[in-house]
Structure 1
Amino acid sequence: MEAVEALVPEGARERVNRRWGEILQETRVAQTGGQILFGLLLSIAFTSRFESLSSFGRGLYIVTVVLGASSTAALIAPVSIHRCLSGLRMKHQVVEAAGRMMACGIILLALTIACTLLLILTVVLPGPLALVIVATVMVWFVLCWYVLPLRLRHRAGRRSR
């Protein structure tokens, strides 16, 4: 099927419609994870253990919640952008802006996850081990979310030459 699709040139309208559909699917996946994490983060302040957090833990919690809220805003932005500009024949601009907001939201989501891990692991583990584990996990995120796709893109570019 892909070989047949590759033979038929994609017009500008088809391309922007395809990209919009892809962004919507990606948004659904990222939003769900981000919103669940954000909801759980909001509930932490109402637990009995929250009172025993150090000032570092409380500060880290505040940073984490702000990152979670920011991530949620960025990941929901494509819906708002579309709603505000729908019918104005600006689909190309909507897709471009939505793509930028998705990229921003994904970075903020990764930072939220890193801070959440750090918050939990500093309570559970002694010393700098928490930082080592968080750094290792974030290297894994970078490999999965950025290095692998860029490597695949580079390979595809070499094959098309």
Structure 2
Amino acid sequence: MDTSDNEAAGRPERETRNDDGRRETESERADRRWTELIQEVRVAQTGVQILFGFLLTVVFTPRFAELSDADRTIYVVTVVLGSTATGALIGPVSFHRIVSGRKIKPQTVVWASRLIFVGLILLLGTVTTALLLVLRVATDDTVVPWLVVGVVSWYLLCWFVLPAWARHRYTTAD
């Protein structure tokens, strides 16, 4: 019987000790995890919305007409990636609003977490292609691939490698 069945039957949720030593019910844990997710996504949402908003204005500048076909293609890919990243990072808010009050917060947290992770990957793609486009227009083409690879490697290290290493290092039994 899950906790929602306990609540419906008038029985309180059972408090358990989680892996991190906290004593909280499943509902309390879901509430805490939801709050943490929303705090995390606010940073990514702000960044992707500013970047996406800027990208939408580029097509209306006089310089846009001077872009090569390759640069226009990169621009279109960048706008599509920015749009999909925005959708994935705003998705958890809509998801929560639609299912609110249905006593499925633990499942909502799981789906929101997945959307945020996909959004971060799409944001990485957006930033990568935006950087590629800007550097192609602003600098010598011979250094552009190296600069983009360097910056993307840095993002991968900060966003995925370091957290994965810390997760493995500090949560794996010795």
TM-score by shorter chain over 0.5: yes
Counterpart for residue 17 of structure 1? 31
Counterpart for residue 68 of structure 1? 82
Counterpart for residue 107 of structure 2? 93
Cα distance in 2 for residues equivalent to 1:25 and 1:17 = 12
Offset of residue 128 of structure 1: 3.0
Structure 1 residue runs of 4 or more that deviate by more than 2 Å after TM superposition = 6-11
Structure 2 residue 83 is matched with structure 1 residue 48: no
Cα distance in 1 for residues equivalent to 2:92 and 2:22 = 29
Deviations 1:112-136 (A, max 9, x none): 0000000000011222311110111
Q: Mind listing any 5+ residue stretches in structure 2 that lack a counterpart?
A: 1-19
Single out whichever of 125-134 and 110-119 deviates more from structure 2: 125-134
Counterpart for residue 145 of structure 1? 159
Length, aligned pairs only:
155
Higher relative contact order (CA 8 A, sep 6+): 1
Secondary structure of the residue aligned to 2:60 is coil
Give me the TM-score of the superposition, normalised by structure 2. Answer: 0.85
Offset of residue 7 of structure 1: 5.0
Q: Mind listing any 5+ residue stretches in structure 1 that lack a counterpart?
A: 1-5
Secondary structure of the residue aligned to 1:46 is coil
Give me the TM-score of the superposition, normalised by structure 1. Answer: 0.92
Q: Which has the higher helix share?
A: 1
Deviations 1:65-120 (A, max 9, x none): 00000000000000000011011111111111100000000110011000000000
